[in-house]
Homo-oligomer: A and B are copies of this chain.
Amino acid sequence: MSRELSPHVDRLLPADPGVRELARRLYDAVAAAPILSPHGHVDAALLADDKPFPDPATLLITPDHYVLRLLHAVGVPLDALGRGAAPADPQEVWRAFCANWDVFLGTPVRYWFETSLSEVFGVTEQPSAGNADELYAHIDAQLRTAEFHPRALFERFRIEVLATTDDPADDLAAHARLRDDPSFHGHVLPTFRADRYMDPSAAGWTIAIAELSEAAGTDAGNYAGLLEALRRRRAAFRAAGGTATDTGVLDAGSQPLTSADAERIHAAGLRGDATTEDATAYRRNMLYRLAEMSSEDGLVMQLHPGVIRNHHRDTLARFGPDSGHDLPDVAAFTRPLTPILNDFGTNETFRMVLFTVDETAFSREIGPLAGFYPSVYAGAPWWFLDTPDAIARYRRSVTDSAGFTKTSGFVDDTRAFCSIPARHDMSRRLDAGYLAALVSEHRLTEEQAFALAHRFVDDIPRTTFRLPGGTASAS
């Protein structure tokens, strides 16, 4: 079988020749537009330090739970992928990946890899057991050159805005270094993610509270102090350029508690005896409070509920979190968000972007909510749904009830730095195909489609996430 690697110029565009021709023109119009990445997991220190990447496996395989997941599913142990207690030889990790390359057929992981191997690293052959060492050497050599240092790639990728994900206790020193460095021209914005502080029954909550107290310069050892500490850190994030928060919770339940109840549960958490019911009530109160704070300070609230984290007990024990066994749950938004939307849903400062891994919510809840509440935006397909077919279903499910302007624009959500351009490229191709199909069905004019293609990669994400720059009126 041919092992050539050369991504087709028309990949992901619609098959119908007439539709494709227009899709290609729409894609070409935005293919080189700067990348706005308002939600992701790249570490700001990577760019602040600008040190060379260590090796191909540590860059491309070991940290990417999309890759780990599928290799594990066909029987490759996570130890062999560099996730075990003992360090793995990166060249062996790379070999395991190449030998199982065909496992990724039909998945977006394969697509992202083909594009980035080809376009970032100039690889011209499909990985295989036979060429693994050769590819490793080829990529590794490049990683040692200046053109492949993080900042050089950042520029080459045309990233204009990159939002990171940061703990409130983070001092944002790396962000400051970047901001203060006249030689760096991108916007690297911190995102406030307070997940660690929401569950007083969780392992690590007490430590988190202590770290936050230290970072905020105020005692978060009681509930009022925690709110104050979070407010201080939000201000610091805003001062550092942050425009958004992110929250990943098991469900979107939101219900304010009285201060007395919240204080009681907070104290129980510190003593280590918060009950499950109390912890749930506390978490739902905290989600409500985070919305309240967003309605005060205007940080855009991203909500990512509905993932069951660490489904496999032994894998968690041996390999830790983010090792591929987080799994989607049934989503609900309309009912659980009632308290938040009743109190802040029409507040002009408040803005909330809803993401789901249960696509049934697209037409049933997310589109309709974004189609009434001025504060609500329909988040792009996320995680298990950031795939060609699910993205198409998202467009065909949400636009009907929310139009185009209440969608968020694409988010890459990735910790795989080198996949960023491939992911945005995929989104641009799919949107081009979608718009071309609408034109071909006479549901849009060609002019409208071109205008929308531009808006999808520019003013729509800028407005949704209140990003700097651009010609769009911030709202």
Contacts and interface: CB of A to CB of B under 8 A. Distances in A.
Interface of A: 1-2, 7-8, 10-19, 69-70, 72-75, 102-108, 111, 308, 311-315, 324-325, 327-330, 332, 334-335, 338, 341-342, 345-346, 348, 357-360, 363-365, 367-374, 376, 384-385, 387-390, 396-397, 399-406, 437-438, 440-445, 447-448, 451-452, 475
Which 8 pairs from chain A and chain B are nearest by CB?
A8-B442, A387-B400, A11-B442, A15-B440, A106-B399, A389-B396, A328-B364, A75-B374
Given A364-B358, A442-B12, A372 B403 contact: no
Contact of A312 (B330, B373, B400, B403): B373
A414 to B, nearest CB: 16
Nearest to A78: B346
Given A8-B442, A106-B400, A405-B74, A368 B346 contact: no
Given A73-B371, A73-B372, A367-B384, 18 more contacts: A1-B448, A2-B445, A11-B442, A17-B18, A72-B372, A106-B399, A106-B400, A106-B444, A111-B443, A311-B338, A312-B341, A312-B342, A313-B342, A327-B369, A328-B368, A359-B364, A360-B360, A363-B384
A327 B365 contact: yes
B12 A15 contact: no
Copies of this chain present in the complex amount to: 3
A325 B368 CA distance: 9
Contacts of A18: 15, 17
A405 B404 CA distance: 36
B401 A107 contact: yes
A73 to B, nearest CB: 5
Given A335-B308, A384-B401, A388-B443, A372 B325 contact: yes
